[in-house]
Amino acid sequence: MRSRSLRIALHIVYAHTHHPILFDICGLNMSSITVRKVDFEFPEDVALYALPGMPRVSLFIVAFSLTMPYLEPYLIRMMLKATQHVNDENLIEDMKRFSQQEGNHYRNHARINQIVRGKFDAATAAELLRIEHELKAEYELFLNDKSMRYNLAYAEGFEAMTCAAAMGGANRSQEKSGVSKGWAELLDWHALEEIEHRTVAFDVYNHVVGGYFYRVAAGLRSQFHYLYYIHRFYTVMLKAKGMRVYPYVPFFLLAGGFRYLNTLMPWYNPANYKIPNDLNRRLDQYGALAKEN
């Protein structure tokens, strides 16, 4: 009885103060996103090729990884800026957790990138770093000079594309994926959390901006921009490894398949994805790893 009275009192105080701690204590938080601060210890001899038999796909994965320490902080800063335009407490909580997950992702990618960059000759490593700095400056420019609408559509375009790709491999456990040690855990954990927070960028876009045509047009533009950078990293690495650059369909689009095409439709909503039954069990394993750190 006493605890019920206390809860009612806390709700009343929360209604007047909107203090985030009370939001949690009152059990008002409806977010289904869990933050797992995992710090993988990558072996120094982590393979350059995530898929040993598929060097081209593997270099595409390295290119993806190289963008993460720039793309994900950009998303985090964007969410922070967008918070002032959001008046839905649950969505604000989702945005906070989305940002925390993305923060954990890019810090792990930055560490594996450091090792992987060292697997190229000095000139190639320097060239990769040069493109990385260019990408960082570009996102800085987007945040400072472009509208909130532009930035939120960029985020949604990126998240829709990568979530579709993550869903493509969602039913494959990392043990059976054939991916080499180090990359296997990182990519699996990252893909599963991308699925877990799949609705956030979409919901924020709809809450703050809205509009189907702009979502698709600006989303495609953002995917083109992002894939252009991937292409630059990719071609530098292919050439460094003595491989020719052939025309290709970006791996994300191949992995996303029809799910990717569905993201371009007016009825698309990532909340409607049929999530694998064991998603939470697999995520819990990474959660246990986080607690051990």
Positions touching Fe ion (CB under 5 A) are 102, 105, 194
**Residue 121, both tokens:** 């000759």
Taking CB positions, which residue lies at the least distance from Fe ion? 105
Instruction: Give residue 251's Cα distance to chain centre.
Output: 16
Contact 165, 233 (CB under 8 A): no
Q: HSE, CB side, 13 Å, CA atoms: give it for residue 273.
A: 26
Q: Which is nearer to Fe ion, 102 or 188 (CB)?
A: 102
Compute the distance between CA of residue 126 and CA of residue 253 in angstroms, rounded to an integer: 29
Q: Which is nearer to Fe ion, 127 or 194 (CB)?
A: 194
Q: Which is nearer to Fe ion, 36 or 105 (CB)?
A: 105
CB 47, min distance to Fe ion, A = 22
Query: Which amino acid belongs to residue 149?
Result: R
Compute the distance between CA of residue 5 and CA of residue 174 in angstroms, rounded to an integer: 48
Q: Which is nearer to Fe ion, 204 or 237 (CB)?
A: 204
Compute the distance between CA of residue 271 and CA of residue 120 in angstroms, rounded to an integer: 41
CB 2, min distance to Fe ion, A = 42
CB 154, min distance to Fe ion, A = 12
CB 282, min distance to Fe ion, A = 16
CB 64, min distance to Fe ion, A = 10
Would you call 56 helix, strand, or coil by DSSP?
Answer: helix
Q: Which is nearer to Fe ion, 94 or 127 (CB)?
A: 94
Q: Taking the CA atoms of the chain, what radius of gyration do you get in angstroms?
A: 20
**Residue 145, both tokens:** 């000079």
